[in-house]
Structure 1
């Protein structure tokens, strides 16, 4: 289980832990939609296209590690390591995303607290850096939705 807790109400940084062990900090980008993180000594950058529907996760050499397409839509995908992971939003108004395998739910990602912004992700079979990327993209989408609603 991967969890993410907001470190401060002001900055938008999140501390991520895998099964209770700290593994990374999601640091949102100031200039572009996305963020950066480091896990196991490797730095990664996640950036969105101009519409915020496609995100690329790059390693420190600029190589694409993962591609998230149709982010924020009812159904979306993550391509990484030669695999395609399929997700769907559980309901129109809800904040839960479901990881699917052959159309059946095998994992999930959900905000556990609207107030604190805490998140839980159970994404079996997905490499840890890709899990962090998926959580980071959801953080970016939820923050953009909050900004649009309050603006």
Structure 2
């Protein structure tokens, strides 16, 4: 399970841990939507496009590795290479997301604390950079929702 929690209340960075072992830090952009992370010495950047419902992840050379479409809608997708992953918001009252396969939930992303912004993701079968991309999108999207509500 991949977990994300703020480094401190005064910083916007998140520590990402896989099964309890820290693997990366999510560093959100200050003036733009998205962020970046380094995993096993490789840099990745996540950018939002349009109105913040489309995201892409690139490596250090600028190659697009994954794209997310319709983020924030009831149903949205992530394309990573030749594989498309479908997600569905669980309820209009909650921000939890299910990873769907053939109409059946096989994984989840859920906010464990709306106050601190912590979350956990159980996304079996997805490569770790793609999991971090999705978690970064959720952090970005949930934070922008909180800012709009304030």
TM interval, short-chain normalised: over 0.9
Unmatched 5+ stretches in structure 2:
none
Q: How does 1:14-29 map to 2 (within 5 A)?
A: 14-29=14-29
Q: How does 1:83-94 map to 2 (within 5 A)?
A: 83-94=83-94
SS in 2 for 1:134: helix
- In structure 2, what is the Cα distance between the partners aligned to 1:70 and 1:127? 21
Unmatched 5+ stretches in structure 1:
none
Please state if 1:54 is matched with 2:59: no
- In structure 1, what is the Cα distance between the partners aligned to 2:115 and 2:70? 26
In structure 2, the partner of 1:3 is 3
In structure 2, the partner of 1:112 is 112
In structure 2, the partner of 1:134 is 134
- In structure 2, what is the Cα distance between the partners aligned to 1:72 and 1:49? 13
- In structure 2, what is the Cα distance between the partners aligned to 1:131 and 1:44? 12
Aligned length: 150
Please state if 1:63 is matched with 2:46: no
- In structure 2, what is the Cα distance between the partners aligned to 1:66 and 1:131? 11
Q: TM-score, normalised by structure 2?
A: 0.98
Q: CA RMSD in A?
A: 0.8
Q: Which runs of 4+ in 1 moved over 4 A?
A: none
Q: TM-score, normalised by structure 1?
A: 0.97
